[in-house]
Amino acid sequence: MKDKKRSSIFAARTGLDTNQPKESLIAKDDTAEKINRLQESIETSAKNMVKTAIIIGDLLNAKKSELKHGDFLPWIESNLTISRFTASRYMKLYENRDRLNVARVQHLREALALLSESKIEKEINPDKTVNAAIVYREWKTTKRRLTNSERQSLQDLIEKKLGLEKRKITNLQRDLSELKKN
């Protein structure tokens, strides 16, 4: 069977130098070994992302418990390069690490998807007012998944803007009607 596979691989084809020794095509070369090592590194890095995110979540939870009430978000904003949203996701991963281990999640996206499927949502500071204008701009450009409070804030913002625009349209229509009468 092996010989049959080899013969089908090395059968005469356009562009294949049949004068070249067949063994040289099968033998691993430095480039192939390097590519395989790099691919393995990518796969390992992807698996390590979940572990690293969980560790970051643990550190964030510990820091939050150290700080006074209301100091955690300013601490994130002044000291970290990650957003409040990302910090919240890492904390959620840490809090649900046992579920992720049971599910044998290997990639960060897979872990976040698993947690969002079960509707487990925890915000860093749920009482904090969401800046709907900022969230709206982010959502328009990235289409990222929104928390329930962000979604509600955006709906309220859009309804408010829509109401204002409708009033403007009504006023413009009234002005236009007056101009046509005169």
User: Distance (Å, rounded) from C-alpha 76 to C-alpha 70?
Assistant: 11
pLDDT at 3 over 50: yes
Domain contains 18: no
The verdict on 144 and 160 lying in the same domain is yes
- CA distances 106 to 24, 52, 138, Å, are 37, 12, 28
Domain of 109, in residue numbers: 29-124
Neighbours of 64 (CB within 10 A): 18
Q: Is residue 11 part of a domain?
A: no
Helix (H, G, I), strand (E, B) or coil at 182: coil
**Residue 11 pLDDT > 50:** yes
Percent of the chain with pLDDT over 70: 70
pLDDT confidence bin for 64, thresholds 50/70/90: very high
List of residues 6+ apart from 110 with CB closer than 8 A = 50
What mean pLDDT do residues 162-182 have? 88
Q: Are residues 133 and 113 in the same domain?
A: no
Has residue 6 been placed in a domain?
A: no
Q: Token digits for 24?
A: 């040289």
Q: Clarify whether residues 33 and 112 are in a common domain.
A: yes
pTM of the complete model: 0.46
Quote the pLDDT of residue 103. Answer: 55
Last residue of a domain, one of 86, 105, 124: 124
Return the structure tokens found at 113: 């998807």
Confidence of residue 131 (pLDDT cuts 50, 70, 90): confident
Q: Give how many domains the chain has, as a whole number.
A: 2
